[in-house]
Amino acid sequence: MKFRLEKLIPADFPIYFDLVGNEDVMAMITERAIPLEEAKSDYEKRMLENQFHSDFGHFKIMEEKSDNFIGVGKLEIEAPDSNKAELGYMLLPKYWGKGIASEVAYQLIGAARKHVFIKKLFAIIDPKNIPSRKILVNNGFVSKEFTDFDGLPGEVLELVIPRN
């Protein structure tokens, strides 16, 4: 399935909320759907992070032919001068198992590689999320640690980007 990545904009909040408000989507991320007020607050942060750099931030994944919303991908930097970025993706359940997350990860990794200031990428997953782990490992990520994130189990995987 062909898709495109576009930066999320303020008007995209309703589709973002459809995603993070979905219990199935969030089962291996927060273990709960995100309530409206929390989602609004989170989205405001996403909009600020989107201003750091044109190639980094939070992207809606849109089906090429139909313009249907598929999910959100992120290549997030914490500040304009960051040397690492977090890779992530969330898809609506009807798009699971179609190779879309793999392709989103591949495209975002490619975008990060174009920027010499990025030395490494990392991703945080639920250790039980075998499909996401497989996508990351297939793209060269290695497990760095298991830790708790806000009381939830997490595995941090990392990809060092070699620079000459």
Rounded Cα distance, 15 and 8, in Å: 10
Widest Cα–Cα separation across the chain:
46
Which CATH architecture describes the domain 3-160?
3-Layer(aba) Sandwich (3.40)
Rounded Cα distance, 20 and 88, in Å: 13
Rounded Cα distance, 21 and 39, in Å: 8
- How large is the average pLDDT for residues 89-103? 96
129-158 pLDDT tens trace = 999 999 999 999 999 999 988 788 899 999
76-88 pLDDT tens trace = 998 888 999 999 9
Check pLDDT > 70 for residue 164. no
What pLDDT is recorded for position 81? 85
Mean predicted lDDT score pLDDT of the chain: 94
Nearest to 20 by CA among 34, 37, 10: 34
- How large is the average pLDDT for residues 53-67? 94
Check pLDDT > 90 for residue 107. yes
What pLDDT is recorded for position 1? 80
Instruction: List Cα–Cα distances, 147 to 49, 57, 125, in angstroms.
Output: 25, 24, 10
Percent pLDDT > 90 in the chain is: 87
- Pick 22 or 149 by higher pLDDT: 22
* Domain spans in the chain, listed from the N-terminal domain onward: 3-160
- How large is the average pLDDT for residues 121-135? 95
What pLDDT is recorded for position 79? 84
